[in-house]
Chains A and B, each alone.
Chain A
Amino acid sequence: QKEVEQDPGPLSVPEGAIVSLNCTYSNSAFQYFMWYRQYSRKGPELLMYTYSSGNKEDGRFTAQLNKASQYVSLLIRDSQPSDSATYLCAMRRNDYKLSFGAGTTVTVRA
């Protein structure tokens, strides 16, 4: 079993829809949780991070963490065509190694 499981997708949604992306993890030692966005033929870029259970908002993006149930979610509100990308969850213990989910590819249709 992989340490990090991510809903595989792909997802195709109309512009303006809410996108929900989910990851579960099996290692309770993970302390920091991140979402990366990766455009086609580009490297991943950090979108958001969180480390405490609850919601963290940044504009149209909300990261949700539930440590008791061991899952992390990313919500994208009012999705735009420019949000079309692959989204990767990543997490780490109190060291430097990141464990990544396999990614979910999102297409927002204009």
Chain B
Amino acid sequence: DAKTTQPTSMDCAEGRAANLPCNHSTISGNEYVYWYRQIHSQGPQYIIHGLKNNETNEMASLIITEDRKSSTLILPHATLRDTAVYYCIVRVASGSARQLTFGSGTQLTVLP
């Protein structure tokens, strides 16, 4: 599996865009990029995923570089409720279901 690297922590002002980077330089052609977040004392929550095209949903946008070696999760207007640990996961989507593994992620703190 491709290894991912994320910053340990980031701050963002409320109402501003939060841009969370993830490096996955060894990603292979059939591996997807998934993002989850975990708000304190809750279970992880799926946010978005993509293969090579940029993706957007009601929660966030995912920008994947053309070489696919890195990606950025964008929360367009961060709120205090977006304070959470954000996990970037790279996996083959059709692989074994057991292999949803979470690294240490990025602690995003949204400041008032």
- The answer to whether A binds B is no
